[in-house]
Structure 1
Amino acid sequence: MATIELGAANFGDTVVKEGITIVDFWAEWCGPCRQFAPVFEEASNKRPEITFGKVDTEAEKQLAGEAGISSIPTLMVFRDGILLYNRAGALPAAALEELITAVEGLDMDEIRKEVEAQGGEIGDVSEPN
């Protein structure tokens, strides 16, 4: 599946759905964003079961602000509507694949319990608790 364009109109509905959604916040003028784009696109083609979305921060300034984007590219990963990863910086293909594998391997019942106990979002899955 190719990447989809996300904006204010469809961002919320897309990230809360069941399954994994990976969002790339980018801009045309951003060199690292342009370097990361083919890596992101290739991953989307390899993993059709995952939703890959892109947010153009220039066209969607309000959404980028609401998402707290201060540096691009920024990658967010959601699973079943829970934000699991939120970090700026382009990833090499192998690191993106490792991140996807880590998110796929999570026990979401445990994650939901942890989120409920914290009363909000969970931390970054790439960092040990």
Structure 2
Amino acid sequence: MATVDVTESSFTSLVEENDIVLVDFWAAWCGPCRMFAPTYEAASGKHPEIVFAKVDTEAEQRLAAAAGISSIPTLMAFREGILVFSQPGALPAAGLEQVIAAVKDLDMVDVRTKAAARQQSNKTS
């Protein structure tokens, strides 16, 4: 599957309606972003069950700000609508494959339990 461009209006539905979504926050002027792009594109071909999304931080400044992006490229991974990974910096192919394997192997019952506990803790703080 090829990568898909995401906008502020399509981001939430994309993350909520797909099991695993990887999001690459990038910009055309960013050298490390351009270096990471072929690695990301190649991984999208190897993992058609995962949605590989791209957010152009120049065109989608409000979305990048809402996501707390302070450095690019930044890779985020969502599983069942929950942010499970976020890291700035261009990953080598092997590193990206490790992230993908780790996201696939997550115990989502445990992840949801911990996310609910954090959310409850934030409400009482």
Summarize deviations over 1:96-122 as a string: whole Å, max 9, x none: 0011001111110111111111117xx
| Equivalent residues of 2:33, 2:72 under 8 A apart | yes
Aligned equivalent of 1:49: 49
Aligned equivalent of 1:38: 38
| Equivalent residues of 2:18, 2:51 under 8 A apart | no
In structure 2, distance between residues paired with 1:107 and 1:67: 24
Aligned equivalent of 2:123: none
Residue segments in structure 2 that go unaligned for 5+ positions in a row: 121-125
Alpha-carbon offset, residue 17 of structure 1: 2.2
Question: Are residue 27 (structure 1) and residue 27 (structure 2) matched?
Answer: yes
Equivalent AA in structure 1 for residue 76 of structure 2:
M
Residue segments in structure 1 that go unaligned for 5+ positions in a row: 121-129
Alpha-carbon offset, residue 15 of structure 1: 1.1
In structure 1, distance between residues paired with 2:93 and 2:45: 13
Question: Are residue 91 (structure 1) and residue 91 (structure 2) matched?
Answer: yes
In structure 2, distance between residues paired with 1:63 and 1:116: 24
Task: Tell me the TM-score normalized by structure 1.
Answer: 0.90
**Which is richer in helix?**
2
Secondary structure of 1:84's aligned partner: strand
Secondary structure of 1:24's aligned partner: strand
| Equivalent residues of 2:6, 2:53 under 8 A apart | yes
In structure 1, distance between residues paired with 2:98 and 2:86: 15
Structure 1 ranges of 4+ moved more than 4 A: none
Equivalent AA in structure 1 for residue 54 of structure 2:
K
**Identity within the alignment, %:** 57
Equivalent AA in structure 2 for residue 4 of structure 1:
V
Equivalent AA in structure 2 for residue 76 of structure 1:
M
Summarize deviations over 1:71-90 as a string: whole Å, max 9, x none: 10000000000000111100
In structure 1, distance between residues paired with 2:40 and 2:57: 16
Aligned equivalent of 2:14: 14
